[in-house]
């Protein structure tokens, strides 16, 4: 039983017998005998072998439990994952499989940079689902009684982000079901973005940088290029820097080279497949 358990732990962790032998300072031959159930090993050596297997001594004597193939794959995946990624995995597991998951999925939040189609698709989706459509920037202006530009001038970036967080919390507490469109920079505020991910089913609406820019200009907003010859390059840098954050969303929708109706059709199809 002991030999089988040592072999099982080594295979689960994807560690070769040679590596275990080197790290525990036990000969490969002795380790092979142990795994075959023929070894006569001391507690001192077993403790070193357990350490090489990243296990406790008690785990070597744990009774064998039935484990499905799926659980074995998940276990091996987690064991090979870098420590700095475990927090993200834990967050996603708690978010997706917690008792409050059904409530979270009743609120859909669209994230991404301006020009991707959040407002257009969000308003159509809300109409289809018969729920309120809420643009968080508009709610912030309503709560403060000031346009966004004035809020930034008076309170700066940090002040605006604090107001954004308070407004998001208030909106979500007041709406059990809704479609939200949030500012593209929210993902840079970890606490606020984590709150959004935990309380809403999030969709990254994205497009190619050139389409982001052209759509904003079509809306008559020329601030992005005013006095800035590097506007397109700046946009590419922002997208590249934020992409790992946007990818934390539950779903992605690329609206590049697509009409509104084409994008909306794909959005509905993906939501039906993921939320039902």
Query: What is the maximum span of the chain, computed from C-alpha positions, in angstroms?
Result: 81
The answer to whether 41 touches 101, Cβ cutoff 8 Å, is no
The domain locations on the chain are 2-80, 87-275
- What pLDDT does 225 receive? 45
Return the pLDDT at 199. 92
pLDDT at residue 221 in the model: 55
pLDDT at 12: 74
**Superfamily name with CATH number, domain 2-80:** lambda repressor-like DNA-binding domains (1.10.260.40)
Q: Hey, what are 16's tokens? A: 């070769």
**pTM of full prediction above 0.75:** no
Percentage helix, strand, coil, to 5, in the chain?
A: 65, 10, 30
Burial 5-32 (b: 16+ CB within 10 A, else e): bbbbbbeebebeeeebbeebebeeebbe
Contacts of 114 (CB under 8 A, 6+ apart): 184, 212, 216
Residue 248 half-sphere exposure toward CB, CA atoms < 13 A = 23
Task: Classify 254 as helix, strand or coil.
Answer: strand
Equal CATH topology for 2-80 and 87-275: no
Chunked in runs of 10, what are the mean pLDDT values of the chain (276 residues)? 85 83 89 86 88 83 66 80 81 71 90 90 96 96 92 88 94 95 91 92 91 73 52 83 91 92 95 79
Return the pLDDT at 226. 46
Question: What is the pLDDT, as a whole number, of residue 262?
Answer: 95
CATH of region 87-275:
3.40.50.300
Phi–psi pair at 14, nearest 5 degrees: 65, 35
């Amino acid at each position: 039983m002991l030999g089988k358990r040592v072999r099982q732990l080594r295979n689960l962790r994807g560690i070769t017998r040679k590596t275990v032998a080197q790290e525990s300072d036990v000969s490969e031959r002795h380790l092979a005998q142990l795994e075959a159930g023929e070894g006569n090993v001391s507690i001192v050596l077993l403790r070193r072998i357990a350490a090489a297997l990243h296990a406790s001594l008690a785990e070597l004597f744990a009774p064998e439990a039935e484990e499905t193939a799926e659980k074995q794959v998940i276990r091996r995946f987690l064991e090979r994952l870098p420590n700095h990624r475990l927090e993200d995995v834990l967050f996603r597991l708690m978010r997706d499989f917690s008792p409050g998951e059904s409530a979270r999925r009743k609120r859909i939040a669209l994230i991404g940079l301006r020009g991707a189609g959040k407002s257009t698709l969000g308003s159509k989706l809300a109409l289809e689902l018969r729920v309120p459509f809420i643009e968080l920037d508009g709610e912030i202006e309503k709560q403060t009684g000031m346009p966004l530009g004035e809020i930034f001038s008076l309170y700066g970036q940090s002040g605006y982000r604090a107001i954004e967080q308070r407004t998001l919390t208030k909106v979500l507490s007041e709406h059990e079901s809704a479609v939200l469109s949030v500012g593209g920079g929210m993902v840079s505020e970890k606490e606020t973005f984590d709150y959004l991910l935990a309380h809403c089913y999030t969709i990254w609406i994205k497009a190619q940088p050139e389409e982001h820019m052209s759509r904003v200009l079509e809306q008559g907003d020329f601030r992005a290029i005013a006095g800035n010859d590097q506007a397109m390059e700046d946009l590419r840098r922002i997208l590249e820097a934020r992409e790992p954050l946007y990818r934390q969303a539950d779903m992605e929708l690329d609206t590049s080279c697509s009409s509104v109706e084409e994008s909306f059709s794909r959005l509905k199809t993906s939501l039906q497949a993921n939320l039902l």
